[in-house]
Amino acid sequence: MEELLVPLVPMSHTAHIRSHRKPRRNASSIAMRAGVASGVLGTLAVATAAGSANAADASVTQTLELPTLTADLSAQVEQAAQFTQQAAANYQLQAERDSAAAAAAKEAAKDLEAAKQAEAKKKAAEEARKAAAEAAVSRSEARASLSGSSSASDTVSTPSSGSVATVIDFLKAQVGDSYVLGGTGPNSWDCSGLVQAAFKQVNIDLPRVSEDQSTVGTDVPLSDLRVGDILYWGAKGSAYHVGVYIGGGKYLDAANPSKGVVIQDLSGYPASGAVRVL
């Protein structure tokens, strides 16, 4: 037999070291690893696509919902503003009604007070006329029973007509009016303002103040007074108060703020002097 001679191939000097040898990978191992890698990449791709889709959906959802929320909020704000405006209008209307009601009540109170004053004035004037009539009757009876001279208060009677009667009627109609310093009527007077207005009824123009009124006309003794004479208190030319003699020992004047226009007894507050202009 012939012997086959196999040539000897020299070995590497590191062939005998095991750790330096590279193990061979078979085809199935490589294919498996390739499949796993492909699956992982596919999963990542799917996950990425799903995340992108979810983000897109969320963005779309927010974009679609925001106008709805904004519209609702705007409507609520507008409705609240309307309610506020309506409430303010209601408050203003109520305030105007309250103000009008208060003004009407005030006017009604003034009218009522004026009516009361007019009634009181009418009543006082009627009482004054009745008292004057009774005084006249009393004086007439006294004159009939007396012999000799009589006092001024017994012989004077209230005129029934003429200028003096007009002055006295005007004065008595003011009884009950209030006293106001500087007052010239028609519902409030001071002493000289009332006297001036009374004599103006018969076209006699008197000075405005007491001291000047005490100097007009003719001086009259207090023992010889007649109805319509002007009485004054204080010195002639510097008098501080005036009134008008109405007969029966009485006079009418705008006395003071506490009394107003009244009829008083001359004996309780004797005058300083008198003047006659009628």
pLDDT at 57: 47
- Let me know: does 201 contact 164? Beta carbons within 8 Å: no
Q: How far apart are CA 273 and CA 242, in angstroms?
A: 10
Q: What is the mean pLDDT of residues 97-126?
A: 83
For residue 1, the model assigns a pLDDT of 47
The predicted structure's pLDDT at residue 39: 52
Give the mean pLDDT of 51-68. 48
Amino acid (1-letter code) at residue 168? I
Cα dihedral: 245, 250, 254, 258 (round 10)? 170
- The residue that leads in pLDDT, 170 or 6, is 170
- What's the whole-model pTM score? 0.45
15 — pLDDT class (breaks 50, 70, 90): low
- For 222-243, what is the mean pLDDT? 97
pLDDT value at 226 more than 90: yes
C-alpha 81, offset from chain centre = 29
Q: What are the residue boundaries of the structural domains of the chain, listed by start?
A: 42-118, 156-276
Residue 63 has pLDDT above 60, yes or no: no
- Predicted confidence (pLDDT) per residue in 138-169, tens digit: 444 444 443 333 333 333 344 545 799 999 99
Q: What six digits make up the tokens of 76?
A: 């609520």
Of the chain, the end-to-end C-alpha distance in Å amounts to: 201
What angle (nearest 5°) sits at the alpha carbon of residue 247, between those of residues 245 and 248?
Answer: 130
Which runs of consecutive H residues, i.e. helices, occur in the chain? 27-145, 152-155, 163-173, 191-200, 210-213
Average pLDDT, stretch 206-228? 97
Strand partners for 219: 275
Q: How confident is the model at residue 5 (pLDDT cuts 50, 70, 90)?
A: low
Q: Considering the chain, what percentage of its residues have pLDDT values greater than 70?
A: 61
CATH class of 156-276: alpha beta
Q: Which of 19-23, 126-130, 227-231 has the lowest mean pLDDT?
A: 19-23
Tell me how far the alpha carbon of residue 243 is from its chain's centroid.
42
Range name among 90-99, 118-127, 238-247 with the lowest pLDDT average: 118-127
Residue 18's pLDDT is 56
Residue 227's pLDDT is 97
pLDDT at 148: 35
